[in-house]
Structure 1
Amino acid sequence: MGGRKFIISGYYGFSNAGDEAMLSAMIHSIKEADPAASITVISGHPEATARTFGTPAIHRFSPFALLRGILRSDIVISGGGSLLQDVTSRRSIYYYLSIMAAGILFRKKVFLYAQGIGPVRSLKTRRILKIVLDHVTAITVRDEFSHDFLKGLGVKTPVSVTADAVLSLPVVSKEKGREILRRAGVPEDRKIIALCVRKWGDSDALAASFRKYVEALSGTGMYSIVFIPMQCPDDVCMAAKIDSPELKNTYILRESYDIPTLMSIVGAADLLVGMRLHALIFSALMHIPMIGISYDPKIDHFLHSIERDSLFSIYEFQCEKLYNTSIRLLQGIQDPPVWKKVDEMREKSRKTISVLKTLMDR
């Protein structure tokens, strides 16, 4: 039976490349499983989402449109990402749970698509989370930590461990990325360090720490440092805090790029240093050496999945360690390659759609 109606809930329409990449991967996988599928996306900016992905979209805070969309659907998908946590917002977890609860109330199939779950600090929220998840149709999570968290809550619905949805995206050519860097004035005769940063905590102190690192690299005259935004304009503003007129060989990309273009830009670099989870995943997909700097457990969870660790937490910034590790990787002195493990995780990410296919056929 084809032509099922899906509605996808998540943090879409906010120019966050990681979330948009997850949406792209989910739409591609659903269409692969059911070419006649009808997909509606719940978005913060429905017009932009519809234009980018070619699917109908409804506003995330339009209650009647949301209820109508859920009522007309066959399957409600709670999309990938860290939606079910109460660290960045205490309200957002209730919003996403309410979408699932509506799906359950209307007797729809409700599917969690490669979620990263937790931390959930509030005991009350944990109890509500368990009640809702006990009644969904199927759960897939992107890491063992999420699985263990749900097991600890005593969630009754079976939980499958897969991998981040973005790992299922196809690898792209590096040529477009190289052309963008050429147009930005980045020389072709120096190695390129891609820097993906974000605001977090004391952003001024964090920017000052990164500036020392960039100053050290800039002082060698051997490398180009390119700031790549994963969310505009926030990441551009953070890059501007780090950069200064005195620094040489630094470049800030200020545009918002689509997912294949961002992947191509990352692929044109020789090293990626990133706080953003999906910048690290893009680097892994493109087989570019990476250094992860942790601000959230999801960074550590992904790196552990490919048998790596974050270099340090932003709360214990170690400029000298970051510089020395960067130089070592740029000189081609690496730990055993992680690419085989990355490819294994790519295969694991495709397990999510297998679980969804089983659910579709019930």
Structure 2
Amino acid sequence: MNFKLSRDKAKNRLLICGAYGEGNLGDEAILDCLLDEIYQKTQIPVTVLTREPKKLAKRLCRYAGRDFRAVHSLDPLGIIKELSQSRALILGGGSLLQDVSSKRSLAYYILVLKSAKSAGLSCLLYAAGIGPLSDEKTEKRAMKAVYETAVFAAARDKTSYEKLKKSGMNPDSLVLMTDPAIAVEANINYKNNIDSPYAVIALRKLKGRAKFADEIALFTDFLAEEYNLIPVFAALGPGDEKAAAEIIKKLKTKSGRIISCADAIKTAALIKNSEICISMRLHGLVLAASALAPAVGIAYDPKVSAFCEDMGYPYINTEEITAAALILAARNEIEFGSREKRENKLNELRLINKTATAEMFLKLERIYST
């Protein structure tokens, strides 16, 4: 597919809005996957709203010849200009319509949807996670905004799909997919300078859970003592290095190290070469899946448990974390986990995404060819 654009060049751009430029590896990986699809399949010039426009433009300099632009997500005049030149908005991916991390971010994304609709843009949701939302009133407000603006939505998990379906969206404009970063291929040439077998552990900050840190430390020491694995803490987002440092202070083993991860392909290679990945971060698990690595999820959010269920990975909710539970799950994965089953699941999820993405591009073709 490489469809032709209409002759109205003054309004032929595509605007993408998500949690970009906020230091989260997973969000940037989603953006990379989406842009690769767009530039492979269309001639549409793209603008991305981001907190770090200069940094993003530099990182994506390979698209400079394709009329790629990056605009600050809090620049109202810049956004108004892009809306006036765009024909469609893609909101996504990820859990943007939630208010656990910030109520202001939910208000922002709803405003972007409504502003795009008012400016005459067709609005599409891509790899959309809905929730968690704090109360029924807030959920109704978010779902009403989607219903009134979106002409297409690809939900990232079954719960989000059901919420979008319940909102009243046309079922023909609604599809199910999984996280786009499942398409990332590990860079087999990447050298991580770790000479001994190791486990990747990807944690995030969890407030008020001192016992949680103690249990993680006990489990990490078990991996070092029982399997002789170096604990490698992968920092995938803001605050992750601090969370890892708190655990390292509690360890008996002195071999723990922290690696700051800014590149999805290299991070997938880091996980691919490990014995196992233990992750609170969704994209630690997504990249483990893409690398066919054994993994255990620590579910602080429904999106983590949902992906683990899709991929067949064991997971433990943060409220139920004990070193013993982690040891049992990790031992089963290391000693009895089936690479063949993981590969079958991965192929299944990639096919689902390929189908969902094709549906989105058919919608874009209709939007941009008229």
TM-score after normalising by structure 2: 0.88
Alignment of 1:203-222 (within 5 A): 203-220=209-226, 222=228
Tell me what 2:65 maps to. Answer: none
In structure 2, list runs of 5 or more residues that go unmatched. 62-67
**Alpha-carbon distance in 2 for matches of 1:151, 1:80:** 18
Alignment of 1:197-276 (within 5 A): 197-220=203-226, 222-232=228-238, 234-244=239-249, 247-248=252-253, 250-276=255-281
SS of the equivalent of 2:94 reads: coil
Tell me what 1:64 maps to. Answer: 77
**Alpha-carbon distance in 1 for matches of 2:302, 2:228:** 33
Tell me what 2:362 maps to. Answer: 358
Q: What is the deviation of 1:207?
A: 2.0
Aligned amino acid, residue 268 of structure 1: N
**Alpha-carbon distance in 2 for matches of 1:173, 1:347:** 22
Tell me what 1:105 maps to. Answer: 118
SS of the equivalent of 2:230 reads: strand
Contact 1:218 1:249 in 2 (8 A): no
Q: What is the deviation of 1:154?
A: 3.2
Contact 1:174 1:265 in 2 (8 A): no
Q: What is the deviation of 1:288?
A: 0.3
* Distance verdict in 2 for CA 1:144–1:44, change over 3 Å: same
Tell me the alpha carbon deviations over residues 148-181 of structure 1, each in whole angstroms, 9 at most, x when there is no partner.
1122333457321122111233x123331xx22x
2:127 aligned with 1:127: no
Contact 1:168 1:347 in 2 (8 A): no
Q: 1:296 aligns with which of 298, 301, 316?
A: 301
**Alpha-carbon distance in 2 for matches of 1:246, 1:129:** 43
Alignment RMSD (CA, Å)? 2.1
2:44 aligned with 1:37: yes
2:347 aligned with 1:347: no
TM-score after normalising by structure 1: 0.90
SS of the equivalent of 2:297 reads: strand
In structure 1, list runs of 5 or more residues that go unmatched. none
Contact 1:142 1:163 in 2 (8 A): yes
SS of the equivalent of 1:326 reads: helix
Aligned amino acid, residue 46 of structure 2: I
SS of the equivalent of 2:159 reads: helix
Contact 2:99 2:132 in 1 (8 A): yes
**Alpha-carbon distance in 2 for matches of 1:141, 1:75:** 18
**Alpha-carbon distance in 1 for matches of 2:250, 2:161:** 47
**Alpha-carbon distance in 1 for matches of 2:112, 2:351:** 29
Aligned amino acid, residue 39 of structure 1: V
Tell me what 2:22 maps to. Answer: 14
Q: What is the deviation of 1:267?
A: 1.2
**Alpha-carbon distance in 2 for matches of 1:207, 1:245:** 8
Q: What is the deviation of 1:220?
A: 3.6
Contact 2:57 2:69 in 1 (8 A): yes
Q: What is the deviation of 1:322?
A: 1.0
SS of the equivalent of 1:119 reads: coil
2:180 aligned with 1:165: yes
The share of aligned pairs that are identical, in percent, is 23
Aligned amino acid, residue 143 of structure 1: D
